[in-house]
Amino acid sequence: MNRRRLKDRIAGYSMFILTISSLFLVVAMGIGLYMKASPILQEHSLWDLLSASEWKPMKNQFGFFPFLMGTLWVSGLALIIAIPISLLTAIYLTEYSHSMVRRFVYPFLDILAGLPSVIYGVWGMLLIVPWVANVAAPWVGRSTTGYTVLACGIVLGVTVIPLLVSLFIEIFSNVSHELREATFALGATRWQTTKNVVIRKTAPGIVAAIVLAASRVMGETIAVIMVCGNLAIAPGSLLDACYPIPALIANNYGEMLSMPLYESALMFAAFILFFVVLVFNLFSRLVLKKIKSE
Amino acid sequence: MNIFHREPKAENRTHFSVDRKFPHPENLRLSTHALSVYIGGNPILKLVNVEIPKNKITCIIGPSGCGKTTLLRTFNRLVDTIEGVKLEGVVMLGEHDIVRAAASEITEIRRLIGLVPQRPCPLPMSIYDNIAYGCRIHGISGRKKLDAIVEYYLRAVGLWDEVCDRLHMPASRLSGGQQQRLCLARSLAIEPSYLLADESTSALDPISSRTVEELFVKLKQDYSIVMVTHTLRQAKRIADHVIFMYLGEVIEEGDADQVFNHPRHELTQQYLNGAFS
Amino acid sequence: MKRSIFEEKVFKALMYAAIALVMFFVASVVLSVFKRGLPLLSWEMVSQLPGGGFYMGGGGGFLNAIVGSVYIVGGATILGLIISIPVVFFLNVYLKPYSKFGFVARLAYDVLFGIPSIVYGAFGFTIMIYLGLRASLLGGTLVVTLLIIPIFIRSMDEVAKTIPSDLMEAAYSLGSTRWETIGVIVRQIAPAIATATLLSIGRAIGDAAGVMFTAGFSDRIPTSLSQQTATLPLSVYFQLQSPSLEVQDRAYAAAVVLTLIVLFLSISGRIIMNRFSRNKIQ
């Protein structure tokens, strides 16, 4: 009798410890990265780091501005591409389609979600980059290599579609049928119902989903590095090369060990990424949880 | 067809002592004294005093929301799973004070008080393991012993002939009525003194429902059965003792014949006449 | 035509276009990789080490990357399961459904799930330097383990949350302690464990940014935990940077292998979810 109770207790405690220590990972990550980043923060002010444009590690110049802008441009474009496509797809799948269609489309979304980032990179190099160089750029009278914000944004946009669609579908299916039927009964069309009831009712959820998608896009590394051009200058247009933060970290991991401040700079970049993603995730997950519990 | 045609011989059935696996305290009495249950501050049960008679079928009746199920679930402390629940008063099972029982005591109390759930709920394992599970966790092992127990209790609920050649099939493949009898056998296998049944026939078709009902009647020789039921007719068919509850209070308690035919309380009279339900 | 009907038609057309676009993207990604890489894929590619070093060409294949990925993913999956299953069990059995700690824990796993693998890689790398480890099979495996634990926990927890309360009560009413209900629960969520495993393998095998710092790269198959090792995604990425066309071909062939593995995992995940539910009670 007591042995059973003891077993129950011991199992409980050990599982509790496992749970706590796995949770501790978030904290450890934040603290670890911050500690590694602190040498450069002592040398340069936060504002200097973020606003300076010169990136010359050998000369002790660490300006993150080009990388921040690269990330912003690329993420913004990716979301502009992905949001309408995902929203329309999700609306079609939840509001319009038969279950037959859904059964046909879901595996495709599964595949899209499952493909590794490096494969998207290969796809970008094989199709998107040449398309930008040979079709898009000449069309506006410019010439580029194709390794541009545009190519990068398209590739990232596609990678994030499955995440957005699945989040949207989950949010939309939380809207009760009675509500939809109520406006149908007033003679509204399907689209009017969707627009006035479903989307309005789920607006906070849609925003949360987009924020979540933004955090995913910002952290994408390998696909970005393969098509972005890796030029440390803040992009001025869609047809300029760019250099987002994850690419900066990944490209320089080998050299950084030789110079302490260089390593610290890269860890600072990782810390920015961690911090932004953490805040975005906390916000959107809390909103999504609240919606789900209603 | 008589499902009992291969039931264990009468002298066997009443003599668990022959293969008694667990200590059996004599004269376990189950009673409550001034039991109140609050959920989130709202009183669900108010100062309930009942005593469950031995070897009888006690039916708890009353309109929905009157606290029947809560009372039942207090007996084996399954109320603990509800958020914000608070118990006051005393519930005694022999020497165990159920309200104040520590975690280790609760598992023992639950062994002494079996539960037949509302909907059939086989564990996700084979028929055999469903019955053996309870015995195993209470420390009984050995292939031969378990084989005997499984056969014995499957016979006791009239399921043996139907399933003896597929004991290792997943229990989820049985029909609803068979599943419910399996759940009954599973509860019996740990030799409880009391059996709680929470509308245990409500999810079954009429024939299976009748079969399970008849089983309860047979089983009262060895067990004291507490049953929550939503159908008055069922209560009239099988109850020996009746507890009528209304808004968390016990309005009337007594012999079935007396409560059904000569209710003392106005409310009971109205309920029996179908004035509310 | 009434304005509302017109609007309806326009948006319906846009939705068809969106769906078509999604389909096109899927087909385009998979087919472009296959079209470029499939003709190059040969037995030699998957069964030999790179001949003259991965960057220089000289025949051979990318067996080093396949084996490296299998080692890392296999190790990470086992370690990940050992940690995640108890956590899921703790969250769902030991904690009450309305527990505050459970809420915070689930939120934290959601956040961990969202943190990019490059950050895991950078963090893992600093820890390794602190401990005096160099890029190695061990380091890569540990980082990938950290990376997939949140995936494991989230997907299993999703299913564990749907375990009917009747089932738990049935086990409790027989006098089970919480620990003893594990047998019941594991059987109930076995399909979820299987699917979660496949999903995580899919994510683990495709992850490049996490192992870039921590596993390094090597032309040979590692013979000990402290040696560097190649992985499939990194072998695609690094070899594409080579000026030698022969090496680039190897990268495309490796991309095909990686895609095939991921497709296989994704499809079998679906099948298992549908089929494996033999003992499961709905």
User: Residue B2's pLDDT is what?
Assistant: 41
A187-201, A220-234, B19-33, B230-244 — which is least confidently predicted? B19-33
What residues of A are in contact with residue B137 (Cβ under 8 Å)?
Answer: 4
Containing structural domain, residue C14: 3-40
Mutate to test the interface with B, among C98, C166, C169, C173 (most CBs of B within 10 A): C173
CB contact under 8 A, C188 and B183: no
Containing structural domain, residue A67: 49-293
DSSP strand pairing (B241-246 vs B57-61): parallel
Assigned domain for A107 exists: yes
Whole-prediction pTM value? 0.82
Distance CA A260, CA B275 (A): 85
Assigned domain for A262 exists: yes
Assigned domain for C280 exists: no
Assigned domain for C66 exists: yes
Domain match, C64 and C112 both: yes
Average pLDDT, chain A: 88
Instruction: Among A91, A188, A281, select the one facing C110 at the smallest CB separation.
Output: A281
Asked if the model's pLDDT at residue A214 lies above 80, the reply is yes
Average pLDDT, chain C: 86
Q: What is the CATH number of the domain that holds A182?
A: 1.10.3720.10
What residues of C are in contact with residue A86 (Cβ under 8 Å)?
Answer: 18
Domain match, C255 and C174 both: yes
Assigned domain for A28 exists: no
pLDDT digits (tens, 9 = 90+) for C79-119: 999 999 999 999 988 888 788 899 999 999 999 999 999 99
User: Residue C200's pLDDT is what?
Assistant: 82
Domain match, C122 and C195 both: yes
Distance CA A241, CA A230 (A): 7
Nearest residue in A to B139, CA atom: A1
CB contact under 8 A, A253 and C213: yes
User: Residue C87's pLDDT is what?
Assistant: 92
CB contact under 8 A, B103 and A5: yes
User: Residue B26's pLDDT is what?
Assistant: 67
Minimal CA separation from B83 to chain C, in Å: 7
Question: Are the CB atoms for B134 and B150 separated by under 8 Å?
Answer: no
Asked if the model's pLDDT at residue C279 lies above 70, the reply is no
Domain match, C23 and C80 both: no
Question: 3-state DSSP call for residue B96?
Answer: strand
User: Residue C27's pLDDT is what?
Assistant: 93
**Residues 144 to 173 of C: which have CB under 8 A from any B CB?**
164-173
Name the band, by pLDDT with cuts 50, 70 and 90, for residue C280: very low
Write down all domains in chain B, each with its CATH number in brackets: 10-272 (3.40.50.300)
pLDDT digits (tens, 9 = 90+) for C127-180: 888 888 888 899 999 999 999 999 999 888 888 888 888 888 888 888 888 888
User: Residue C1's pLDDT is what?
Assistant: 61
Instruction: Among C165, C175, C180, select the one facing B81 at the smallest CB separation.
Output: C165
Assigned domain for A65 exists: yes
Domain match, C180 and C213 both: yes
**Residues 128 to 187 of C: which have CB under 8 A from any A CB?**
146, 149, 153, 177-180
Domain match, C117 and C227 both: yes
Assigned domain for C111 exists: yes
Q: What is the CATH number of the domain that holds C219?
A: 1.10.3720.10
Assigned domain for A30 exists: no
CB contact under 8 A, C279 and B138: no
DSSP-assigned letters across all residues of chain C: --HHHHHHHHHHHHHHHHHHHHHHHHHHHHHHHHHHHGGG--HHHHHS-BTT-TTT--SB--HHHHHHHHHHHHHHHHHHHHHHHHHHHIIIIIS-TT-HHHHHHHHHHHHHHHS-HHHHHHHHHHHHHHHT--S-HHHHHHHHHHHHHHHHHHHHHHHHTTS-HHHHHHHHHTT--TGGGHHHHHHHTHHHHHHHHHHHHHHHHH--HHHHHHT---SS--SSTTS----HHHHHHHHHT-S-HHHHHHHHHHHHHHHHHHHHHHHHHHHHHHHS-SS---
Domain match, C12 and C124 both: no
pLDDT digits (tens, 9 = 90+) for A21-36: 888 889 999 999 999 8
C206 at A interface, C-beta within 8 A = yes
User: Residue C271's pLDDT is what?
Assistant: 80
Distance CA A251, CA C122 (A): 12
Number of domains in chain A: 1
Domain match, C27 and C155 both: no
**Percent of chain C at pLDDT exceeding 90:** 36
Assigned domain for A233 exists: yes
Domain match, C23 and C148 both: no
Domain match, C82 and C203 both: yes
User: Residue B3's pLDDT is what?
Assistant: 42
Name all chains with 3 or more CB-CB pairs below 8 Å to chain A: B, C
Assigned domain for C281 exists: no
User: Residue B240's pLDDT is what?
Assistant: 93
User: Residue A92's pLDDT is what?
Assistant: 93
Domain match, C24 and C67 both: no
User: Residue A256's pLDDT is what?
Assistant: 62
Q: What is the mean pLDDT of residues C3-26?
A: 90
User: Residue C56's pLDDT is what?
Assistant: 66
- Residue ranges for chain B with pLDDT beneath 70: 1-21, 24-26, 277
Number of domains in chain C: 2
Assigned domain for A20 exists: no
Q: Give the residue numbers in B contacting C (CB under 8 Å), as ranges.
A: 76, 78, 81, 83, 103, 107-111, 113-115, 117-119, 121-125, 133-134, 137-138, 170, 172, 183, 186-187, 190, 196
Assigned domain for A223 exists: yes
A155-164, A165-174, B216-225, C191-200 — which is least confidently predicted? C191-200
